[in-house]
């Protein structure tokens, strides 16, 4: 097994442990799963946050409690999509959406089946970062070349993913990696982690 494969397996396992999204969705009732699928489809097709009233209140409350959906003034966030700006933007098709984190951003082209451009900055030095992918989520170009994704340690108290876990999954430029400021995985590996973590959303929830 290559170091890269090992890193991917380890990161997917860690992400599922720290944020068991798929397990939570699979354990919930059919009506709530249907509501979740509706919100996800709205995001994929419109590239914008649906309003909370598009799903029954009972399901809404349950999905927010599970941290599968995030309520905000600008609508419903649904991992990997954020209803509020995060500094990580994904342009796909005619849409431009914010992603919850770097791994989430890299999963969006795969989920939307569309080539995408991710615009962000190095979270250490603010250098602009641009990553392009094809319609299956493979990286076609990264600027600067060698940009990495860091997956930082969670604080002791894990509250809601978008408030603690996701802000620690960030792009880091090669100079900051070389300088030892962060440890990270390649964007290609991070994209594979995203595809594995969010794969269940494509199979129909």
**Which residues of the shown chain bind Zn ion in the complex (CB under 5 A)?**
100-101, 104, 122, 124-125, 127, 166, 173, 176
Residue number with CB closer to Zn ion (127 or 139): 127
Residue number with CB closer to Zn ion (57 or 163): 163
Shortest CB 32 distance to Zn ion, Å = 21
In angstroms, how far is the first alpha carbon of the chain from the final one?
31
What one-character-per-residue DSSP string does 150-185 give? Answer: EEPPPPSS---GGGTTGGGEEEE-HHHHHTTS---E
Which uninterrupted H or E stretch holds 9? helix 3-18
Shortest CB 144 distance to Zn ion, Å = 9
Shortest CB 2 distance to Zn ion, Å = 25
Residue number with CB closer to Zn ion (56 or 71): 71
Residue number with CB closer to Zn ion (30 or 174): 174
Is 11 in contact with 189 (CB distance < 8 Å)?
yes
Shortest CB 86 distance to Zn ion, Å = 9
Residue number with CB closer to Zn ion (60 or 173): 173
Q: How many CA atoms lie within 13 A of 192 on its CB side?
A: 13
How far apart CA 81 and CA 36 sit, in angstroms, is 13
Shortest CB 10 distance to Zn ion, Å = 17
User: CA nearest 120: which of 168, 162, 87, 79?
Assistant: 87
Shortest CB 56 distance to Zn ion, Å = 26
Is 93 in contact with 59 (CB distance < 8 Å)?
no
95 CB burial (10 A radius; 0-12, 13-18, 19+): middle
Residue number with CB closer to Zn ion (56 or 186): 186
Q: Report the sign of the C-alpha dihedral through residues 155, 11, 82, 29, in that order.
A: negative
């Amino acid at each position: 097994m290559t170091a890269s494969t090992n890193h991917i397996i380890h990161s997917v396992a860690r992400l599922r442990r720290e944020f068991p999204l798929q397990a939570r969705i699979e354990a919930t009732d059919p009506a709530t799963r249907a509501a979740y699928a509706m919100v996800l489809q709205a995001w994929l097709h419109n590239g914008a946050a649906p309003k909370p009233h598009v799903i029954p209140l009972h399901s809404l409350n349950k999905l927010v409690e599970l941290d599968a959906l995030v309520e905000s003034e600008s609508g419903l966030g649904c991992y990997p999509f954020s209803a509020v700006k995060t500094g990580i933007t994904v342009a796909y098709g005619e849409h431009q959406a914010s992603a919850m984190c770097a791994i989430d951003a890299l999963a969006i082209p795969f989920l939307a089946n569309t080539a995408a451009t991710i615009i962000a900055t190095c979270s250490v030095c603010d250098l602009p970062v641009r990553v392009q992918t094809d319609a299956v989520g493979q990286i076609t170009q990264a600027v600067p070349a060698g940009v990495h994704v860091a997956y930082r340690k969670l604080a002791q108290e894990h509250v809601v993913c978008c408030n603690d876990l996701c802000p620690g999954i960030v792009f880091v430029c090669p100079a900051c990696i070389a300088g030892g400021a962060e440890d990270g995985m390649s964007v290609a590996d991070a994209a594979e982690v995203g595809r594995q973590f969010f794969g269940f959303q494509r199979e129909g929830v």
